[in-house]
C-alpha cells in the first residue's frame, strides 16, 4: 500500500482494498493473440472496464434480460433456506461482485464476519464497497481488485471462520465445461474443510426467450459488445470503426450456449498499434459464450470437480437456479 492508499483506507473504516495480480500487459497480449486466430475471439472478461461495467448494470435492468430479476426473485423467495445452508458469521467471498446487487440480500441474512468482493473492474468495486459501507457499517469489507479466472492472491490466511464462496449471475456460464471444472476445483481447494459454495446458474429454456435476452430492443447489449472495440481503441491505440461492426448473438443449441459475436460489415483492415488485422465481409470476432445448464448437467459437473450438490433452488418461473455445494 502506498501513502495515498493508506490515507484512503484510513477514511474507509472497516473497508480495505487489495490489488490482486492483474498483469497490465495482458489485455494487449490477449487481444493480439485472439485476433490472430482463424476464428477471431476475445475473452469476455475485458468487457468490464468502467464503461462496460456501467453498460452491464443497464443490461441487468432490461425487460428482456431475465437472469438478474430471476436470481433476485429466487434469493427473496428462498433466503431463509439459503442462509441456513451458508451459515451465519462466515467469511463471504464473492467472485465478479460488480455492483453487489444480490449480495446485499445475502449480507443482511448471513451477517458474515467479513465480505470479500472480487472484481476485475476497479471502478465497480470501489463504488460497491462505498455503498455497502454506508448500508452495513458493522461489516468488514476486503475488496480485491483482480481476475478470478486465474489463481488469486486473496489474503486468505487472515480470513476468519468458515469460508463461503458466492458466484452468482451465471458468470460460470462464460467458462467452457473444462474451464468451469478447473475453476470449481481451484475454488474447492481455497474453501477449506467446512467451506461451501453458492453458484448461480442460468437454465436451458426456450431459445426465443434466450435470444431476446441477448438482443434487447434498446440496443444496450449491442453497445456492451461494441464497447470492447472502443476499449481497444482507447487503451491500445486501436483504429476500429464501430459503424463497420455489428452485434450478433444467437443460441447455439447443440452446444447449449449463447454466442456473442462482432461481425465485420465490410472487407477491411484494422490497425491496433503496430499490428494490422484483416477482416472479410461477414467475418466475426467471437466475444462471449454464455452456457446454459440443466440442473442435472450442473450437478454432474460440480460432482466431477469434487463437490456434492447439497441443495438447489429455482425462481418461481423456473428460469434460473442457485446451487448450494459442499466438498464431497
- The full 3-state SS of the chain, as one line of letters, equals CCHHHHHHHHCCCCEEEEECCCCCCHHHHHHHHHHCCCCCECCHHHHCCHHHHHHHHHHHCCCCCHHHHHHHHHHHHHHHHHHHHHCCCCEEEEECCCCCCCHHHHHHHHCCCEEEEEECCHHHHHHHHHHHHHHCCCCEEEEEECCCCCCCCCCHHHCCCCEEEEECCCHHHHCCHHHHHHHHHHHHHHHCCCCEEEEEEEECCCHHHHHHHCCCCCCHHHHHHHHHHHHHHHHHCECCCHHHEEEEEEEECCCCEEEEEEEECCCEEEEECCEEEEECCCCEEEEEEEECECHHHHHHHHHHCCEEEEEEEECCCCCEEEEEEEEC
Q: How far apart are CA 73 and CA 296, in angstroms?
A: 22
Interface with ligand AVJ, residue 168, by CB under 6 A: no
Interface with ligand AVJ, residue 74, by CB under 6 A: no
82: left (phi over 0), alpha (psi -120 to 50) or beta: alpha
- Min CB(225)–ligand AVJ separation in Å: 7
- Min CB(68)–ligand AVJ separation in Å: 9
Please give the grid coordinates belonging to residue 66: 431475465
Displacement of CA 145 from its chain's centroid (Å): 13
Which one of residues 173, 195, 238, 324 is an interface residue with ligand AVJ (CB under 6 A)?
173
Interface with ligand AVJ, residue 169, by CB under 6 A: yes
Which one of residues 121, 149, 221, 284 is an interface residue with ligand AVJ (CB under 6 A)?
221
Q: Which is nearer to ligand AVJ, 15 or 171 (CB)?
A: 171
Instruction: Mark the segment that binds ligand AVJ (CB under 6 A) among 14-22, 104-112, 121-129, 168-176.
Output: 168-176
Q: Which is nearer to ligand AVJ, 100 or 174 (CB)?
A: 174
Q: Which is nearer to ligand AVJ, 44 or 195 (CB)?
A: 44
Interface with ligand AVJ, residue 290, by CB under 6 A: yes
- Min CB(214)–ligand AVJ separation in Å: 5
Which one of residues 35, 42, 59, 319 is an interface residue with ligand AVJ (CB under 6 A)?
59
- Min CB(174)–ligand AVJ separation in Å: 5
Interface with ligand AVJ, residue 309, by CB under 6 A: no
Interface with ligand AVJ, residue 103, by CB under 6 A: no
Q: Which is nearer to ligand AVJ, 187 or 221 (CB)?
A: 221
Which one of residues 15, 41, 91, 170 is an interface residue with ligand AVJ (CB under 6 A)?
170
Which one of residues 148, 166, 214, 248 is an interface residue with ligand AVJ (CB under 6 A)?
214
Q: Which is nearer to ligand AVJ, 16 or 247 (CB)?
A: 247
Interface with ligand AVJ, residue 287, by CB under 6 A: no
* Footprint on this chain of ligand AVJ (rule: CB under 6 A): 59, 67, 169-171, 173-174, 214, 221, 288, 290
Amino acid at each position: 500500500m502506498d501513502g495515498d492508499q493508506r490515507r484512503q483506507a484510513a477514511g474507509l473504516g472497516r473497508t480495505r482494498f487489495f490489488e490482486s495480480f492483474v498483469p497490465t500487459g495482458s489485455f494487449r497480449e490477449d487481444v493480439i493473440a485472439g485476433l490472430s486466430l482463424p476464428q477471431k475471439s476475445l475473452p469476455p472478461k475485458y468487457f468490464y472496464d468502467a464503461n462496460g461495467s456501467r453498460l452491464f448494470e443497464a443490461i441487468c435492468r432490461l425487460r428482456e434480460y431475465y437472469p438478474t430479476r430471476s436470481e433476485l426473485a429466487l434469493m427473496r423467495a428462498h433466503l431463509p433456506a439459503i442462509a441456513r445452508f451458508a451459515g451465519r458469521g462466515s467469511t463471504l467471498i464473492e467472485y465478479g461482485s460488480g455492483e453487489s446487487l444480490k449480495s446485499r440480500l445475502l449480507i443482511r441474512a448471513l451477517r458474515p464476519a467479513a465480505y470479500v468482493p472480487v472484481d476485475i473492474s476497479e471502478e465497480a468495486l470501489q463504488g460497491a464497497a462505498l455503498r455497502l459501507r454506508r448500508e452495513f457499517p458493522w461489516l468488514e469489507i476486503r475488496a480485491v481488485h483482480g481476475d478470478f479466472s486465474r489463481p488469486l492472491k486473496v489474503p486468505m490466511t487472515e480470513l476468519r471462520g468458515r469460508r463461503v464462496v458466492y458466484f452468482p449471475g451465471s458468470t460460470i456460464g462464460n467458462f467452457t465445461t473444462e474451464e468451469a471444472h478447473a475453476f470449481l476445483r481451484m475454488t474447492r481447494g481455497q474453501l477449506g474443510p467446512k467451506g461451501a459454495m453458492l453458484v448461480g446458474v442460468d437454465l436451458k429454456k426456450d431459445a426465443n426467450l434466450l435470444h431476446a435476452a441477448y438482443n434487447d430492443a434498446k440496443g444496450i447489449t449491442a453497445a456492451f459488445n461494441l464497447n470492447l472495440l472502443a476499449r481497444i481503441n482507447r487503451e491500445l491505440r486501436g483504429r476500429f470503426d464501430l459503424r463497420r461492426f455489428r452485434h450478433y448473438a444467437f443460441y447455439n443449441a447443440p452446444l447449449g450456449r449463447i454466442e456473442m459475436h462482432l461481425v465485420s460489415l465490410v472487407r477491411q483492415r484494422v490497425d491496433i498499434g503496430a499490428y494490422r488485422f484483416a477482416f472479410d465481409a461477414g467475418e466475426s470476432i467471437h466475444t462471449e459464450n454464455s452456457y446454459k445448464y440443466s440442473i442435472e448437467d450442473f450437478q454432474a459437473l460440480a460432482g466431477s470437480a469434487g463437490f456434492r450438490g447439497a441443495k438447489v433452488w429455482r425462481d418461481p418461473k423456473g428460469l434460473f437456479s442457485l446451487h448450494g455445494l459442499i466438498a464431497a
